[in-house]
Amino acid sequence: MPVKNRFAELQAEITEWRRDIHENPEILFDTHRTSALVAEKLTGFGCDEVVTGIGRTGVVAVIKGKSDTSGKVIGLRADMDALPIHEETGLDYASKTANAMHACGHDGHTAMLLGAAKYLSETRNFNGTVVLIFQPAEEGGGGGKEMCDDGMMDRWNIQEVYGMHNWPGRPVGSFSIRPGAFFAATDQFDITFAGRGGHAAKPHETIDTTVMAAQAVMALQSIASRNADPVHQIVVSVTSFETSSKAFNVIPARVQIKGTVRTMAAEIRDLAEKRIKEICAGVAATFGGEADVTYHRGYPVMVNHEEQTDFAAKVARDVSGSCDEAPLVMGGEDFAFMLEERPGAYILVGNGDTAAVHHPKYNFTDEAIPAGCSWWAEIVEQRMPAA
Ligand SMILES: [Zn+2]
Ligand SMILES: [Zn+2]
């Protein structure tokens, strides 16, 4: 069973929606235009219910099958937000907004789920209910969590959830997935080292925070190399180092460092937080200063559920002939919160030989639309077969 013919017919129309969204990117929860466009289309398709304002600017829509004796309810989720990146693609439908760009392909995800919604409203060839979830603020804002916190899962009695992300570097329209931990937990740390500033020529009269923080940056690398069991995955990256003085002849009184921790297991996440606090306090004490550590837990590990992953892979094989095992991804994914609330699976669809996501020259590949839409539709029709 290859891609559905209907999506080959709809591809030009879905591509138009995608490019319109691409041209008008909106960041985090500010997806007002995109949410309105999504709600308007869903209403036009004849969805049984369209609700806006879930998780601030999220949109939820319901499509009932020809019959509903199964009592099954499946949630399908797309993300709508763009990134604060200045687009450099030179496309004729490139972003019209400076420093905002669909550089992660969420324009494509939204358009593909709209395409599936159009098809499913037309055909309703299933026994059960589909809930379409369009979330804002995937890129670090936790929009998916806010939709869950708004009671979405219970309100629509969602029993399983499925998600999809395009993946550059994989053949267009091919699929890959893995069961269990898939995307990393993404935490942030913010550490201020305090000492005593002074003249750079009289270091003995200061407590030098630059030397202190530099030692800490190096020591933090020992969490991955010396503390965590090497069979586990962990990344500790210091990404910002700012001194309170910018002068060449002043020893700064404070240095602030920031960074991120990526882990795939709860115990390694706990270990990283504990060691960052211990190492920074210890290094600061060594030099007679102090460290103030703020550790912020972001997205949890995104864990694919076994049964739903097997099913999602089977559907992918039906659509494109094969489904590969995806590698672990040390990036984060807000869909993790939905998978904490309900069983489900998240799959990658190939975007071809394009720039990587979050790159100013990235673009979603419209040729992936028929495969992506067919996967959504088949998830519904196979999981809730018509009576
Ligand atoms: Zn992204
Ligand atoms: Zn993304």
Of 278, 299, 320, the residue at which a domain comes to its end is 299
| Res. 4: pLDDT tops 90 | no
Same domain, yes or no: 41 and 147: yes
Catalytic residue among 138, 139, 378, 381: 138
pLDDT in tens, 275-315: 999 999 999 999 999 999 999 999 999 999 999 999 999 99
Same domain, yes or no: 143 and 268: no
- Rounded to 5 degrees, what angle do the CA atoms 30, 33, 34 make? 85
Of 284, 299, 314, the residue at which a domain comes to its end is 299
Instruction: Give residue 41's pLDDT.
Output: 98
Same domain, yes or no: 108 and 67: yes
Q: What's the 152 CA to ligand 1 centre distance in angstroms?
A: 23
Instruction: Give residue 3's pLDDT.
Output: 82
pLDDT in tens, 185-195: 999 999 999 99
How would you write 260-327 as a 3-class SS string? EEEECCHHHHHHHHHHHHHHHHHHHHHCCCEEEEEEEECCCCEEECHHHHHHHHHHHHHHHCCEEECC
Same domain, yes or no: 23 and 167: yes
Instruction: Give residue 197's pLDDT.
Output: 98
Instruction: Give residue 1's pLDDT.
Output: 54
CATH number at residue 105: 3.40.630.10
Query: pTM for this structure?
Result: 0.94
Same domain, yes or no: 191 and 109: no
The count of structural domains within the chain is: 2
Residue 138 among the catalytic residues = yes
Structural domain that includes position 46: 5-183+301-383
Same domain, yes or no: 160 and 213: no
Q: What's the 23 CA to ligand 1 centre distance in angstroms?
A: 17
Please name which ligand lies nearest the alpha carbon of 144. Answer: 2
Please name which ligand lies nearest the alpha carbon of 165. Answer: 2
- Rounded to 5 degrees, what angle do the CA atoms 298, 22, 75 make? 55
Same domain, yes or no: 15 and 127: yes
Residue 81 among the catalytic residues = yes
Q: What's the 305 CA to ligand 1 centre distance in angstroms?
A: 22
Q: What's the 334 CA to ligand 1 centre distance in angstroms?
A: 10
Catalytic residue among 26, 30, 81, 333: 81
Same domain, yes or no: 166 and 212: no
Of 246, 273, 299, the residue at which a domain comes to its end is 299
Q: What is the mean pLDDT of residues 360-378?
A: 98
Instruction: Give residue 276's pLDDT.
Output: 98
Same domain, yes or no: 284 and 340: no
**Which residues of the chain form beta strands (DSSP E)?**
49-54, 58-64, 73-79, 129-135, 160-167, 175-177, 180-183, 185-194, 198-199, 234-243, 250-251, 254-263, 290-297, 302-304, 323-325, 344-350
